[in-house]
Chains A and B, each alone.
Chain A
Amino acid sequence: MIRYRSYLLTFLSAFIVLGSWEIAGRIPVSYSFPTFVETITAFWVLLLDGTMFVAYGETLKPLVVGVLISAFLGIGIGLTIGLSKKFDWLLSPVFVVMQTAPLAALIPLLVMIYGIGLTSKVFVVCIMAMPVIVLNTSGAVRNTPASIIEMGQAFLGTKRDIILKIILPAASPIIFAGLRLGVSAGFIGAILAELKITPTGVGDIISYSRSIADYPSMYAAIMSIILLAVIFLNVLERIENFLFKGTRQGYASE
Protein backbone atom coordinates (compact mmCIF):
# COMPACT_ATOMS: atom_id res chain seq x y z
CA MET A 1 0.00 0.00 0.00
CA ILE A 2 2.74 2.45 1.03
CA ARG A 3 4.82 1.38 -1.95
CA TYR A 4 1.86 1.97 -4.24
CA ARG A 5 1.29 5.40 -2.74
CA SER A 6 4.95 6.40 -3.08
CA TYR A 7 4.83 5.48 -6.78
CA LEU A 8 1.68 7.55 -7.11
CA LEU A 9 3.41 10.55 -5.47
CA THR A 10 6.47 10.15 -7.69
CA PHE A 11 4.23 10.08 -10.73
CA LEU A 12 2.29 13.10 -9.49
CA SER A 13 5.47 15.09 -8.88
CA ALA A 14 6.80 14.23 -12.35
CA PHE A 15 3.43 15.18 -13.84
CA ILE A 16 3.46 18.60 -12.14
CA VAL A 17 7.04 19.39 -13.19
CA LEU A 18 6.63 18.21 -16.79
CA GLY A 19 3.20 19.80 -17.02
CA SER A 20 4.52 23.20 -15.96
CA TRP A 21 7.38 22.75 -18.42
CA GLU A 22 4.86 22.12 -21.22
CA ILE A 23 2.79 25.16 -20.24
CA ALA A 24 5.87 27.39 -19.91
CA GLY A 25 7.06 26.22 -23.33
CA ARG A 26 3.67 26.97 -24.89
CA ILE A 27 3.33 30.52 -23.52
CA PRO A 28 6.31 30.72 -24.56
CA VAL A 29 8.56 31.99 -21.80
CA SER A 30 11.35 32.44 -24.32
CA TYR A 31 11.85 31.58 -27.97
CA SER A 32 14.77 29.34 -26.95
CA PHE A 33 12.67 27.34 -24.47
CA PRO A 34 10.99 24.36 -26.16
CA THR A 35 7.94 22.54 -24.80
CA PHE A 36 8.25 19.16 -23.14
CA VAL A 37 6.57 17.40 -26.06
CA GLU A 38 8.99 18.95 -28.58
CA THR A 39 11.90 17.94 -26.40
CA ILE A 40 10.78 14.36 -25.96
CA THR A 41 10.18 14.10 -29.73
CA ALA A 42 13.69 15.38 -30.42
CA PHE A 43 14.94 12.87 -27.84
CA TRP A 44 13.35 9.96 -29.73
CA VAL A 45 14.72 11.21 -33.04
CA LEU A 46 18.25 11.42 -31.61
CA LEU A 47 17.83 7.98 -30.05
CA LEU A 48 16.42 6.30 -33.16
CA ASP A 49 18.90 7.69 -35.69
CA GLY A 50 21.75 6.51 -33.44
CA THR A 51 23.21 9.98 -32.76
CA MET A 52 22.67 9.55 -29.04
CA PHE A 53 24.48 6.21 -28.88
CA VAL A 54 27.50 7.50 -30.80
CA ALA A 55 27.55 10.58 -28.57
CA TYR A 56 27.45 8.54 -25.35
CA GLY A 57 30.17 6.25 -26.68
CA GLU A 58 32.32 9.38 -26.66
CA THR A 59 31.05 11.00 -23.42
CA LEU A 60 31.15 7.87 -21.30
CA LYS A 61 34.91 7.42 -21.83
CA PRO A 62 36.12 10.34 -19.67
CA LEU A 63 33.12 9.92 -17.39
CA VAL A 64 33.67 6.25 -16.57
CA VAL A 65 37.45 6.54 -16.31
CA GLY A 66 37.19 9.71 -14.21
CA VAL A 67 34.52 8.37 -11.89
CA LEU A 68 36.36 5.08 -11.37
CA ILE A 69 39.63 6.86 -10.59
CA SER A 70 37.82 9.27 -8.26
CA ALA A 71 35.97 6.48 -6.48
CA PHE A 72 38.93 4.20 -5.81
CA LEU A 73 41.57 6.87 -5.29
CA GLY A 74 39.07 9.09 -3.45
CA ILE A 75 38.01 6.44 -0.95
CA GLY A 76 41.63 5.35 -0.50
CA ILE A 77 42.87 8.88 0.13
CA GLY A 78 39.81 9.59 2.31
CA LEU A 79 40.60 6.57 4.47
CA THR A 80 44.22 7.62 4.84
CA ILE A 81 43.22 11.15 5.82
CA GLY A 82 40.60 9.87 8.23
CA LEU A 83 42.97 7.45 9.93
CA SER A 84 46.02 9.69 10.25
CA LYS A 85 46.27 13.22 11.58
CA LYS A 86 49.46 13.78 9.60
CA PHE A 87 47.80 13.02 6.25
CA ASP A 88 44.83 15.11 7.30
CA TRP A 89 47.05 18.19 7.59
CA LEU A 90 48.98 17.27 4.48
CA LEU A 91 46.14 16.46 2.08
CA SER A 92 42.84 17.91 3.30
CA PRO A 93 43.61 21.47 2.14
CA VAL A 94 44.30 20.21 -1.39
CA PHE A 95 40.81 18.81 -1.67
CA VAL A 96 39.15 21.77 -0.01
CA VAL A 97 40.87 23.99 -2.58
CA MET A 98 39.87 21.59 -5.37
CA GLN A 99 36.28 21.68 -4.24
CA THR A 100 36.02 25.44 -4.13
CA ALA A 101 38.19 26.29 -7.18
CA PRO A 102 36.33 27.84 -10.11
CA LEU A 103 36.87 24.89 -12.42
CA ALA A 104 35.75 26.54 -15.67
CA ALA A 105 38.45 29.14 -15.21
CA LEU A 106 41.11 26.49 -14.68
CA ILE A 107 40.26 24.47 -17.79
CA PRO A 108 42.49 26.53 -20.14
CA LEU A 109 45.41 25.72 -17.83
CA LEU A 110 44.61 21.99 -17.96
CA VAL A 111 44.39 22.16 -21.76
CA MET A 112 47.77 23.86 -21.91
CA ILE A 113 49.32 21.09 -19.83
CA TYR A 114 47.48 17.99 -21.02
CA GLY A 115 46.19 19.02 -24.44
CA ILE A 116 42.66 18.65 -25.72
CA GLY A 117 42.44 14.87 -25.53
CA LEU A 118 40.97 12.41 -23.10
CA THR A 119 43.45 13.20 -20.31
CA SER A 120 42.19 16.75 -19.79
CA LYS A 121 38.59 15.58 -19.75
CA VAL A 122 39.33 12.85 -17.23
CA PHE A 123 41.02 15.50 -15.11
CA VAL A 124 37.96 17.71 -15.19
CA VAL A 125 35.75 14.80 -14.13
CA CYS A 126 38.17 13.93 -11.30
CA ILE A 127 38.42 17.51 -10.05
CA MET A 128 34.64 17.63 -9.88
CA ALA A 129 34.09 14.18 -8.38
CA MET A 130 37.04 13.49 -6.12
CA PRO A 131 36.93 16.21 -3.39
CA VAL A 132 33.46 15.35 -2.13
CA ILE A 133 34.32 11.63 -2.11
CA VAL A 134 37.58 12.24 -0.22
CA LEU A 135 36.10 14.69 2.29
CA ASN A 136 33.03 12.53 3.00
CA THR A 137 35.13 9.41 3.43
CA SER A 138 37.62 11.04 5.78
CA GLY A 139 34.84 12.67 7.79
CA ALA A 140 32.98 9.38 8.08
CA VAL A 141 36.08 7.53 9.20
CA ARG A 142 36.87 10.15 11.82
CA ASN A 143 33.31 10.00 13.14
CA THR A 144 33.32 6.27 13.82
CA PRO A 145 32.01 5.93 17.40
CA ALA A 146 35.05 5.69 19.69
CA SER A 147 33.43 2.99 21.81
CA ILE A 148 33.15 0.40 19.02
CA ILE A 149 36.78 0.97 18.06
CA GLU A 150 37.71 0.51 21.72
CA MET A 151 35.60 -2.65 21.72
CA GLY A 152 37.62 -3.96 18.77
CA GLN A 153 40.85 -3.27 20.65
CA ALA A 154 39.58 -4.81 23.88
CA PHE A 155 38.62 -7.99 22.02
CA LEU A 156 42.10 -8.18 20.47
CA GLY A 157 41.32 -6.98 16.95
CA THR A 158 44.36 -6.20 14.83
CA LYS A 159 44.68 -2.77 13.20
CA ARG A 160 43.55 -4.41 9.95
CA ASP A 161 40.50 -6.06 11.60
CA ILE A 162 39.48 -2.77 13.14
CA ILE A 163 39.67 -0.94 9.81
CA LEU A 164 37.95 -3.65 7.75
CA LYS A 165 35.39 -4.95 10.23
CA ILE A 166 34.56 -1.84 12.24
CA ILE A 167 35.60 1.47 10.68
CA LEU A 168 34.71 0.73 7.05
CA PRO A 169 31.23 -0.68 7.69
CA ALA A 170 30.50 2.10 10.19
CA ALA A 171 31.56 4.72 7.65
CA SER A 172 29.92 3.09 4.64
CA PRO A 173 26.62 5.01 4.64
CA ILE A 174 28.45 8.35 4.52
CA ILE A 175 31.07 7.03 2.10
CA PHE A 176 28.27 6.00 -0.24
CA ALA A 177 26.55 9.36 0.21
CA GLY A 178 29.83 10.97 -0.86
CA LEU A 179 30.10 8.56 -3.76
CA ARG A 180 26.64 9.53 -4.96
CA LEU A 181 27.44 13.24 -4.72
CA GLY A 182 30.80 12.61 -6.42
CA VAL A 183 29.23 10.68 -9.27
CA SER A 184 26.66 13.40 -9.93
CA ALA A 185 29.44 15.99 -9.88
CA GLY A 186 31.36 13.75 -12.29
CA PHE A 187 28.46 13.86 -14.75
CA ILE A 188 28.52 17.65 -14.59
CA GLY A 189 32.30 17.56 -15.08
CA ALA A 190 32.05 15.31 -18.14
CA ILE A 191 29.61 17.69 -19.88
CA LEU A 192 31.59 20.74 -18.78
CA ALA A 193 34.72 19.20 -20.30
CA GLU A 194 32.97 18.58 -23.59
CA LEU A 195 31.62 22.11 -23.70
CA LYS A 196 34.86 23.82 -22.65
CA ILE A 197 37.64 21.68 -24.13
CA THR A 198 36.55 20.11 -27.41
CA PRO A 199 32.95 19.55 -28.42
CA THR A 200 32.52 15.78 -28.53
CA GLY A 201 29.73 13.41 -27.55
CA VAL A 202 26.77 14.82 -25.72
CA GLY A 203 28.53 18.16 -25.28
CA ASP A 204 28.75 18.32 -29.07
CA ILE A 205 24.99 17.72 -29.46
CA ILE A 206 24.35 20.49 -26.94
CA SER A 207 26.65 23.10 -28.48
CA TYR A 208 25.86 22.13 -32.10
CA SER A 209 22.07 22.24 -31.69
CA ARG A 210 22.36 25.53 -29.84
CA SER A 211 24.41 27.03 -32.70
CA ILE A 212 21.73 26.08 -35.24
CA ALA A 213 18.91 27.08 -32.87
CA ASP A 214 17.59 23.49 -32.62
CA TYR A 215 16.61 24.00 -29.01
CA PRO A 216 14.51 20.83 -28.61
CA SER A 217 17.58 18.69 -29.45
CA MET A 218 19.70 20.72 -27.09
CA TYR A 219 17.28 20.18 -24.22
CA ALA A 220 16.87 16.52 -25.20
CA ALA A 221 20.63 16.05 -24.79
CA ILE A 222 20.59 17.77 -21.38
CA MET A 223 17.61 15.67 -20.34
CA SER A 224 19.34 12.48 -21.38
CA ILE A 225 22.35 13.17 -19.17
CA ILE A 226 20.09 13.88 -16.18
CA LEU A 227 18.20 10.66 -16.86
CA LEU A 228 21.41 8.66 -17.05
CA ALA A 229 22.69 10.21 -13.81
CA VAL A 230 19.47 9.36 -11.97
CA ILE A 231 19.52 5.77 -13.23
CA PHE A 232 23.16 5.40 -12.25
CA LEU A 233 22.55 6.79 -8.75
CA ASN A 234 19.71 4.33 -8.26
CA VAL A 235 21.95 1.44 -9.28
CA LEU A 236 24.56 2.70 -6.81
CA GLU A 237 21.98 2.75 -4.04
CA ARG A 238 20.90 -0.82 -4.84
CA ILE A 239 24.55 -1.91 -4.63
CA GLU A 240 24.84 -0.21 -1.26
CA ASN A 241 21.70 -1.87 0.06
CA PHE A 242 22.94 -5.21 -1.15
CA LEU A 243 26.38 -4.78 0.46
CA PHE A 244 25.27 -3.41 3.81
CA LYS A 245 21.90 -4.90 4.61
CA GLY A 246 21.95 -4.05 8.30
CA THR A 247 22.77 -0.37 7.94
CA ARG A 248 20.12 0.68 5.43
CA GLN A 249 18.38 3.71 6.81
CA GLY A 250 16.58 4.92 3.75
CA TYR A 251 18.24 7.37 1.42
CA ALA A 252 15.56 8.31 -1.06
CA SER A 253 16.58 9.07 -4.59
CA GLU A 254 13.77 7.34 -6.43
Chain B
Amino acid sequence: MSNNTNDIDNAVTVSNVYKNYGDVEALRDLSLDFPRGQLTSLLGPSGCGKTTLLKIIAGLLPADSGEITVNSQPVTGPGPDRAFVFQDFALLPWATVMRNVAFGLELRGVNQSEREAIAEKYIGDVGLKGFENSYPHELSGGMRQRVGLARALSVDAQVLLMDEPFSAVDEQTRRKFQEDLLNLVKNENKTFIFVTHSIEEAVYVSDQVAILLPRPSRVSEIIRPEGFRHKDATSIRRDSEYLDIVDRIWASLRTYVE
Protein backbone atom coordinates (compact mmCIF):
# COMPACT_ATOMS: atom_id res chain seq x y z
CA MET B 1 0.00 0.00 0.00
CA SER B 2 2.88 2.42 0.52
CA ASN B 3 4.01 4.20 -2.57
CA ASN B 4 7.39 5.08 -3.90
CA THR B 5 7.47 8.87 -3.69
CA ASN B 6 10.43 9.39 -6.01
CA ASP B 7 8.51 9.08 -9.26
CA ILE B 8 5.47 11.04 -8.08
CA ASP B 9 5.10 14.80 -8.46
CA ASN B 10 4.24 16.11 -5.02
CA ALA B 11 2.44 19.45 -4.71
CA VAL B 12 2.96 19.60 -0.97
CA THR B 13 5.57 17.89 1.19
CA VAL B 14 5.79 17.80 4.97
CA SER B 15 9.05 16.57 6.44
CA ASN B 16 10.00 15.93 10.06
CA VAL B 17 7.54 18.42 11.52
CA TYR B 18 7.35 18.88 15.28
CA LYS B 19 4.76 20.99 17.08
CA ASN B 20 4.18 21.43 20.79
CA TYR B 21 1.48 23.35 22.60
CA GLY B 22 3.21 24.19 25.85
CA ASP B 23 3.98 20.80 27.37
CA VAL B 24 1.63 18.92 25.07
CA GLU B 25 3.29 17.27 22.13
CA ALA B 26 0.90 17.67 19.20
CA LEU B 27 3.00 16.49 16.25
CA ARG B 28 6.20 14.43 16.50
CA ASP B 29 8.50 13.93 13.53
CA LEU B 30 5.64 13.88 11.07
CA SER B 31 6.43 13.42 7.37
CA LEU B 32 3.89 13.13 4.59
CA ASP B 33 3.70 13.83 0.85
CA PHE B 34 0.70 15.07 -1.08
CA PRO B 35 0.68 14.04 -4.79
CA ARG B 36 -0.36 16.75 -7.24
CA GLY B 37 -3.89 16.69 -8.60
CA GLN B 38 -5.05 14.18 -5.99
CA LEU B 39 -7.11 14.30 -2.85
CA THR B 40 -5.37 13.24 0.34
CA SER B 41 -7.38 12.79 3.54
CA LEU B 42 -5.97 13.22 7.00
CA LEU B 43 -8.00 10.78 9.05
CA GLY B 44 -7.81 10.09 12.73
CA PRO B 45 -9.59 10.24 16.07
CA SER B 46 -10.21 13.64 17.64
CA GLY B 47 -7.15 15.21 19.21
CA CYS B 48 -4.80 13.54 16.75
CA GLY B 49 -3.52 16.86 15.43
CA LYS B 50 -4.96 16.64 11.92
CA THR B 51 -6.30 20.19 12.02
CA THR B 52 -3.00 21.37 13.50
CA LEU B 53 -1.14 19.81 10.59
CA LEU B 54 -3.54 21.42 8.09
CA LYS B 55 -3.08 24.85 9.68
CA ILE B 56 0.68 24.44 9.61
CA ILE B 57 0.49 23.65 5.87
CA ALA B 58 -1.78 26.70 5.46
CA GLY B 59 0.85 28.84 7.19
CA LEU B 60 -1.61 29.84 9.90
CA LEU B 61 0.44 28.11 12.60
CA PRO B 62 4.24 27.91 12.72
CA ALA B 63 5.84 24.50 13.10
CA ASP B 64 8.44 24.20 15.88
CA SER B 65 10.80 22.47 13.49
CA GLY B 66 10.74 20.59 10.21
CA GLU B 67 9.96 21.76 6.72
CA ILE B 68 6.83 22.19 4.63
CA THR B 69 7.04 22.92 0.92
CA VAL B 70 4.37 23.84 -1.60
CA ASN B 71 5.55 23.49 -5.20
CA SER B 72 9.06 23.05 -3.77
CA GLN B 73 8.88 26.46 -2.08
CA PRO B 74 9.22 26.41 1.72
CA VAL B 75 6.13 27.65 3.59
CA THR B 76 6.68 30.66 5.84
CA GLY B 77 3.09 31.90 6.05
CA PRO B 78 -0.18 31.93 4.13
CA GLY B 79 0.34 32.16 0.38
CA PRO B 80 -1.54 32.60 -2.90
CA ASP B 81 -0.88 28.95 -3.77
CA ARG B 82 -3.21 27.70 -1.00
CA ALA B 83 -6.87 28.35 -0.17
CA PHE B 84 -8.68 27.26 2.96
CA VAL B 85 -12.20 25.92 3.53
CA PHE B 86 -13.22 26.25 7.17
CA GLN B 87 -15.16 23.84 9.33
CA ASP B 88 -17.44 26.62 10.63
CA PHE B 89 -17.55 28.28 7.18
CA ALA B 90 -15.96 31.54 8.48
CA LEU B 91 -18.26 33.76 6.45
CA LEU B 92 -18.66 37.46 7.14
CA PRO B 93 -22.21 37.72 8.54
CA TRP B 94 -22.61 41.32 7.39
CA ALA B 95 -21.61 40.62 3.80
CA THR B 96 -23.72 39.24 0.97
CA VAL B 97 -22.91 35.92 -0.72
CA MET B 98 -21.33 37.91 -3.55
CA ARG B 99 -19.01 39.87 -1.26
CA ASN B 100 -18.15 36.75 0.76
CA VAL B 101 -17.20 34.76 -2.33
CA ALA B 102 -15.23 37.69 -3.74
CA PHE B 103 -13.59 38.46 -0.38
CA GLY B 104 -10.42 36.48 -1.05
CA LEU B 105 -9.95 38.42 -4.27
CA GLU B 106 -10.83 41.68 -2.51
CA LEU B 107 -8.01 41.06 -0.04
CA ARG B 108 -5.67 40.50 -2.99
CA GLY B 109 -6.58 43.92 -4.39
CA VAL B 110 -8.51 42.71 -7.45
CA ASN B 111 -10.86 45.50 -8.58
CA GLN B 112 -14.56 45.19 -7.94
CA SER B 113 -15.94 44.47 -11.42
CA GLU B 114 -13.27 41.88 -12.11
CA ARG B 115 -13.63 40.06 -8.80
CA GLU B 116 -17.43 40.04 -9.01
CA ALA B 117 -17.28 38.52 -12.48
CA ILE B 118 -15.06 35.73 -11.15
CA ALA B 119 -17.21 35.27 -8.04
CA GLU B 120 -20.35 35.17 -10.21
CA LYS B 121 -18.94 32.19 -12.11
CA TYR B 122 -18.08 30.21 -8.97
CA ILE B 123 -21.40 31.06 -7.29
CA GLY B 124 -23.00 29.44 -10.33
CA ASP B 125 -20.59 26.48 -10.20
CA VAL B 126 -21.46 25.60 -6.60
CA GLY B 127 -25.17 25.94 -7.37
CA LEU B 128 -26.01 29.18 -5.61
CA LYS B 129 -27.18 31.18 -8.61
CA GLY B 130 -29.86 33.60 -7.51
CA PHE B 131 -28.50 33.92 -3.96
CA GLU B 132 -25.83 36.53 -4.78
CA ASN B 133 -27.50 39.17 -2.62
CA SER B 134 -28.53 36.93 0.29
CA TYR B 135 -26.82 37.15 3.66
CA PRO B 136 -25.31 34.06 5.32
CA HIS B 137 -27.99 33.93 8.03
CA GLU B 138 -30.59 33.49 5.29
CA LEU B 139 -28.88 30.32 4.01
CA SER B 140 -28.87 26.73 5.27
CA GLY B 141 -25.66 25.18 6.65
CA GLY B 142 -25.00 23.34 3.40
CA MET B 143 -25.45 26.49 1.34
CA ARG B 144 -23.12 28.41 3.63
CA GLN B 145 -20.39 25.84 3.07
CA ARG B 146 -20.96 26.18 -0.69
CA VAL B 147 -20.20 29.88 -0.23
CA GLY B 148 -17.01 28.94 1.64
CA LEU B 149 -16.07 26.55 -1.15
CA ALA B 150 -16.78 29.12 -3.87
CA ARG B 151 -14.58 31.64 -2.01
CA ALA B 152 -11.72 29.14 -1.91
CA LEU B 153 -12.15 28.22 -5.59
CA SER B 154 -12.34 31.82 -6.80
CA VAL B 155 -8.80 32.69 -5.68
CA ASP B 156 -7.60 29.91 -8.01
CA ALA B 157 -5.02 28.38 -5.68
CA GLN B 158 -3.42 25.08 -6.71
CA VAL B 159 -3.84 23.58 -3.26
CA LEU B 160 -7.19 23.44 -1.49
CA LEU B 161 -7.07 22.86 2.26
CA MET B 162 -10.34 21.65 3.74
CA ASP B 163 -10.82 21.42 7.49
CA GLU B 164 -13.71 19.01 8.17
CA PRO B 165 -15.75 21.00 5.67
CA PHE B 166 -18.83 18.80 5.81
CA SER B 167 -18.99 18.08 9.53
CA ALA B 168 -21.40 20.94 10.25
CA VAL B 169 -23.96 20.04 7.58
CA ASP B 170 -26.70 17.42 7.72
CA GLU B 171 -26.21 13.87 6.46
CA GLN B 172 -28.07 14.19 3.14
CA THR B 173 -26.26 17.40 2.22
CA ARG B 174 -23.00 15.80 3.25
CA ARG B 175 -23.49 12.89 0.81
CA LYS B 176 -24.28 15.31 -1.99
CA PHE B 177 -21.16 17.31 -1.09
CA GLN B 178 -19.00 14.18 -1.20
CA GLU B 179 -20.26 13.35 -4.69
CA ASP B 180 -19.68 16.94 -5.83
CA LEU B 181 -16.19 16.81 -4.35
CA LEU B 182 -15.32 13.74 -6.47
CA ASN B 183 -16.30 15.69 -9.60
CA LEU B 184 -14.34 18.69 -8.41
CA VAL B 185 -11.18 16.62 -7.97
CA LYS B 186 -11.70 15.12 -11.43
CA ASN B 187 -12.39 18.42 -13.21
CA GLU B 188 -10.22 20.97 -11.43
CA ASN B 189 -6.53 20.34 -11.65
CA LYS B 190 -5.95 21.01 -7.98
CA THR B 191 -4.41 19.24 -5.02
CA PHE B 192 -6.84 18.68 -2.17
CA ILE B 193 -5.93 18.13 1.47
CA PHE B 194 -8.97 17.07 3.36
CA VAL B 195 -9.31 16.66 7.11
CA THR B 196 -12.07 14.39 8.34
CA HIS B 197 -12.95 12.13 11.24
CA SER B 198 -15.33 10.04 9.16
CA ILE B 199 -13.78 6.80 7.86
CA GLU B 200 -16.45 6.34 5.17
CA GLU B 201 -16.02 9.90 3.98
CA ALA B 202 -12.24 9.58 3.78
CA VAL B 203 -12.34 6.32 1.82
CA TYR B 204 -15.12 7.58 -0.43
CA VAL B 205 -13.46 10.79 -1.59
CA SER B 206 -9.72 10.13 -1.30
CA ASP B 207 -6.98 9.06 -3.66
CA GLN B 208 -4.81 8.65 -0.56
CA VAL B 209 -5.83 8.31 3.07
CA ALA B 210 -3.24 9.14 5.73
CA ILE B 211 -4.19 7.66 9.07
CA LEU B 212 -2.89 9.69 11.99
CA LEU B 213 -2.63 8.30 15.48
CA PRO B 214 -2.80 10.62 18.46
CA ARG B 215 -0.63 11.82 21.31
CA PRO B 216 1.68 12.69 19.73
CA SER B 217 0.52 12.59 16.16
CA ARG B 218 2.30 10.48 13.65
CA VAL B 219 1.31 8.87 10.36
CA SER B 220 0.57 5.23 11.12
CA GLU B 221 -0.48 4.12 7.66
CA ILE B 222 -1.11 5.40 4.15
CA ILE B 223 -3.85 3.72 2.18
CA ARG B 224 -4.56 4.29 -1.51
CA PRO B 225 -8.11 3.21 -2.38
CA GLU B 226 -7.60 2.87 -6.13
CA GLY B 227 -9.76 -0.03 -7.28
CA PHE B 228 -13.08 1.80 -7.37
CA ARG B 229 -11.92 5.30 -8.31
CA HIS B 230 -13.14 4.88 -11.88
CA LYS B 231 -16.64 3.87 -10.79
CA ASP B 232 -19.44 6.41 -10.75
CA ALA B 233 -20.22 8.24 -7.53
CA THR B 234 -23.35 6.27 -6.63
CA SER B 235 -21.96 2.74 -6.87
CA ILE B 236 -18.78 3.28 -4.82
CA ARG B 237 -20.60 2.82 -1.54
CA ARG B 238 -21.52 -0.78 -2.54
CA ASP B 239 -18.05 -1.66 -3.83
CA SER B 240 -16.46 -4.52 -1.89
CA GLU B 241 -12.99 -2.95 -1.84
CA TYR B 242 -14.53 0.24 -0.43
CA LEU B 243 -16.22 -1.75 2.33
CA ASP B 244 -13.06 -3.76 3.09
CA ILE B 245 -10.94 -0.64 3.45
CA VAL B 246 -13.50 1.01 5.73
CA ASP B 247 -13.48 -2.13 7.91
CA ARG B 248 -9.72 -2.36 7.98
CA ILE B 249 -9.30 1.29 9.03
CA TRP B 250 -11.88 0.88 11.76
CA ALA B 251 -10.05 -2.18 13.04
CA SER B 252 -6.84 -0.21 13.40
CA LEU B 253 -8.48 2.87 14.89
CA ARG B 254 -10.88 1.30 17.36
CA THR B 255 -8.30 0.83 20.09
CA TYR B 256 -7.72 4.60 20.13
CA VAL B 257 -11.35 5.50 20.73
CA GLU B 258 -12.19 6.09 24.37
Whether chain B is bound by chain A comes out as yes
Given A155-B107, A156-B79, A156-B80: A150 and B90 interface contact (C-beta under 8 Å) = yes
Q: Identify which of B79, B84, B86, B107 contacts A157 (C-beta below 8 A).
A: B107
Q: Would you call A244 an interface residue if the criterion is a C-beta within 8 Å of the partner chain's C-beta atoms?
A: yes
Contact A246–B155 (Cβ < 8 Å): no
Give Cα A161–Cα B107 distance, bound, in whole angstroms.
7
Please indicate which of the listed interface residues B58, B84, B90, B104 has the most CB atoms of chain A within 10 Å of its own CB: B90
The verdict on A246 contacting B90 (CB below 8 Å), with A155-B155, A156-B79 known, is no
Residue of B59, B88, B94, B135 most packed against chain A (CB within 10 A): B94
A213 at the interface (CB under 8 A from B): no
- Binary interface encoding of chain A residues 52-83 relative to chain B, with 1 for a CB under 8 A from any of its CBs, else 0: 00000000000000000000000000000000
In the complex, which residues of chain A have a beta carbon less than 8 angstroms from the beta carbon of B94? 169-170, 244-247
Contact (Cβ within 8 A) A246 B95: yes
Task: Knowing A156-B79, A166-B92, A169-B94, say if A150 contacts B107 (CB, 8 Å).
Answer: no
Interface contact B107-A152, CB-CB below 8 Å: yes
Question: With a CB–CB cut-off of 8 A, which chain B residues contact A112?
Answer: none
How does the 8 Å CB contact mask read for B40-68 relative to A, with 1 for contact and 0 for none?
A: 00000000000000000011100000000
Interface presence of A18 (CB below 8 A): no
Measured as residues with beta carbon below 8 angstroms from the partner, the interface class of chain A is 20 to 34
A residues in contact with B192, CB < 8 Å: none
The answer to whether B96 and A246 touch across the interface, beta carbons within 8 angstroms, is yes
B58 nearest CB neighbor, chain A only: A154
What are 30 A-B residue pairs whose CB atoms fall within 8 Å in the complex?
A147-B87, A148-B90, A150-B60, A151-B84, A151-B86, A151-B90, A153-B60, A153-B78, A154-B58, A154-B78, A154-B82, A154-B84, A155-B83, A155-B107, A155-B108, A155-B151, A155-B155, A156-B78, A156-B107, A157-B107, A161-B107, A165-B106, A165-B107, A166-B92, A169-B92, A170-B92, A246-B93, A246-B96, A246-B135, A247-B93
Q: Which residues of B contact A (CB under 8 A)?
A: 58-60, 78-80, 82-84, 86-88, 90-96, 103-104, 106-108, 135, 151, 155
Asked whether A148 and B92 contact (CB < 8 A) given A154-B84, A155-B103, A155-B155, the answer is: yes
Q: Which residues of A contact B91 (CB under 8 A)?
A: 148
Instruction: Determine if A147 and B86 form an interchain contact, defined as CB atoms under 8 angstroms apart.
Output: yes
Q: A151: shortest Cβ distance to chain B, in Å?
A: 4
The answer to whether A156 touches B108, judged by C-beta atoms less than 8 angstroms apart, is yes
Within 8 A of B (CB), among A160-207: 161, 165-166, 169-170
Chain B residues closer than 8 Å to A153, beta-carbon distance: 60, 78
Which residues does chain A contribute within 8 Å of B96, judged by CB atoms?
246
* Nearest CB on B from A50, distance (A): 46
Closest residue of chain A to B104 (Cβ to Cβ) is A155
- Closest 7 A-B residue pairs measured CB to CB? A246-B94, A151-B90, A155-B104, A154-B84, A157-B107, A147-B90, A247-B94
Q: List B contacts of A151 (CB < 8 A).
A: 84, 86, 90
Chain A residues in 8 Å Cβ range of B107 = 152, 155-158, 161, 165
Most chain B beta carbons < 10 A, residue from A147, A155, A157, A244: A155
Residue B60 contacts which of A154, A157, A165 (CB distance < 8 angstroms)? A154
B209–chain A nearest beta-carbon distance, Å = 24
A230 to B86: give the CA distance in the assembly, Å. Answer: 43
B100 → chain A, closest Cβ, in Å? 10
**What is the CA–CA distance of A247 and B94 in the complex, to the nearest angstrom?**
5
- Measured CB to CB, the nearest residue on chain A to B82 is A154
Say whether A150 contacts B86, CB under 8 Å: yes
- Whether B135 pairs with A154 at a CB distance below 8 angstroms is no
Residues of B within 8 A of A148 (CB): 90-92
Minimum Cβ distance to chain B for residue A146 (Å): 9
